[in-house]
Amino acid sequence: MTRPKGWPIAVRTVELREPLRRIDDVGGYSRTRVFVHDGGRLIGSVDIGNARGPISITRLRDAITSNLANPLMQRAVARQLEPSAPPVALDEAVAVSIVIATCGRPDDLRRCLIAVQAQASRRPVEVVVVDNRPGKTATPQVAREFSNVVLIEEARAGLSYARNAGFSAATGDILVAIDDDVTVPAGWLERLVAPFARPAVMAVTGHVLPLELETEAQCWFEAYGGLGKGFTPFEAAGEWFRAHRGAVPTWRLGATANAAFRATAFQAPEIGLLDEALGPGTPTGVGEDTYLFYKILKAGYTIVYEPAAWVWHRHRRDRESLTDQIYSYSKGHVAYHLTTWLRDGDRRAFVRLAYSLPKVYGWRAYSRLRGRSDYPLHLLITEIAGNLAGPWGLWRSRRRVRRLGRSAPVRRHAVSMESPLTQSSAP
């Protein structure tokens, strides 16, 4: 397996509203990735080759100004044009539930809960932890260490089953989903829920940054694409959904590792809960979040990607785990498209499966063999094998759901999307 160039990579942060300081603690690294913030808002990142030495203030300043000139200029212009514009915020009376599904990772869960409980918010906030391996892990002991944590159990294995159980038990008007292996920074929650001040917004996703890039596998996962979707805010709605001639690329909209939804979405017949035949812990591997995004857009609502609402994610550290993860991602990608085709009658999925994907992999294989890419051939073959296994995985997953049963629909929230919550939250 070819090594990513310059790994391991140090991960550091810089806040532009504070004086720049020399970075001294990177002597064990040949490269450093610096995430740049302005008033807590994520601007971008720069990679600096520091050759196992400190990074001076001058070097840091030059790297930031040369690589992030456009976003820095846009921020400066925005402040000049609207110097006193109040930040968009969701009414403090709107309650939020943070749902964390977990399966035998007590240390990760403890770190996650510590960061969640440190969030400063005046609104009602509850934390729902879903134990997806009840009776076999230390999850209950960890949950009891924290106040304001509701612990529930879901014995049916699978992230979709677990998250659906959490969504059904939660009492908030906005339901937030995060993975148990993320940690959240100060101000994350309010930045994530702020776009719900607009009535049309049904879901918000945030950026996902690597907590560390210490191992070869972690660096290759970032090269593969990671979980984040970039530093530029954007949104998608019904027009975006209909405009694509090929399959709707909902995988560009983020992930439920860091996402929030109006609770009413899960009761609406045209949206509903996560598809329990898709996602981690099932034979399909992933796809539950991309299909949920698909249903939200198809129903005519808006999804906002807000990179300012970022979290840290601990990527898998070893080669075997990375290979399994990419194989699952590839299976789930095909299973997602088959679902939109067979369940929703969306023939654009066929274009992706029969034309776009083979073309993409053909070009990537050609580039790798010609030496134009150093992406490991092992991982490329893993992706292709996962794609080929997608139909079989979906068939097995559908049979599994028929055997285990579907989760009961959510009934506690009003069916109307134009609810009092939506109306009172409008600016």
Among 81, 104, 129, give the residue marking a domain's end.
Answer: 81
Tell whether 354 is covered by a domain. Answer: yes
- Do 291 and 193 lie in one domain? The reply is yes
- Do 275 and 419 lie in one domain? The reply is yes
- Do 241 and 147 lie in one domain? The reply is yes
Tell whether 1 is covered by a domain. Answer: no
- Do 140 and 154 lie in one domain? The reply is yes
Among 22, 57, 81, give the residue marking a domain's end.
Answer: 81
Tell whether 90 is covered by a domain. Answer: no
204/306 Cα distance (integer angstroms): 7
Global pTM exceeds 0.85: yes
Structural domain of residue 365, as residue ranges?
A: 321-404
- Do 123 and 238 lie in one domain? The reply is yes
Matching residue, tokens 């979040």: 289
Tell whether 171 is covered by a domain. Answer: yes
pLDDT at 206: 97
Peptide bond into 8 cis (omega under 30): yes
| Beta partners for residue 318, in sequence order | none
- Do 357 and 415 lie in one domain? The reply is no
Tell whether 4 is covered by a domain. Answer: no
Q: How confident is the model at residue 275 (pLDDT cuts 50, 70, 90)?
A: very high
* pLDDT of 277 over the 50 cut: yes
- Do 314 and 397 lie in one domain? The reply is no
> What is the count of structural domains for the chain?
3
Give the N- to C-terminal CA distance of the chain in Å, as an integer. Answer: 53
- Do 110 and 58 lie in one domain? The reply is no
Tell whether 226 is covered by a domain. Answer: yes
Tell whether 88 is covered by a domain. Answer: no
- Do 397 and 412 lie in one domain? The reply is no
* Mean pLDDT of the region 47-67: 95
Q: The domain that contains 112 carries what CATH number?
A: 3.90.550.10
The percent of residues above 70 in pLDDT, for the chain, comes to 94
* Mean pLDDT of the region 347-362: 93
Instruction: Please state, rounded to an integer, the average pLDDT across all residues of the chain.
Output: 91
Tell whether 86 is covered by a domain. Answer: no
Q: How confident is the model at residue 2 (pLDDT cuts 50, 70, 90)?
A: very low
Among 57, 81, 105, give the residue marking a domain's end.
Answer: 81
- Do 420 and 400 lie in one domain? The reply is no
* pLDDT of 114 over the 80 cut: yes
* pLDDT of 421 over the 50 cut: no
- Do 414 and 298 lie in one domain? The reply is yes
* pLDDT of 415 over the 70 cut: no
Q: How confident is the model at residue 411 (pLDDT cuts 50, 70, 90)?
A: confident
Q: How confident is the model at residue 419 (pLDDT cuts 50, 70, 90)?
A: very low
- Do 246 and 358 lie in one domain? The reply is no
* pLDDT of 119 over the 80 cut: yes
- Span of 42-56, 84-98, 150-164, 180-194 with lowest mean pLDDT: 84-98
Name every residue whose Cβ is closer than 8 Å to that of residue 129 and which is 6 or more positions away in sequence. Answer: 100, 102, 109, 113, 139, 143, 149, 150, 151, 152, 166
* Mean pLDDT of the region 17-30: 94
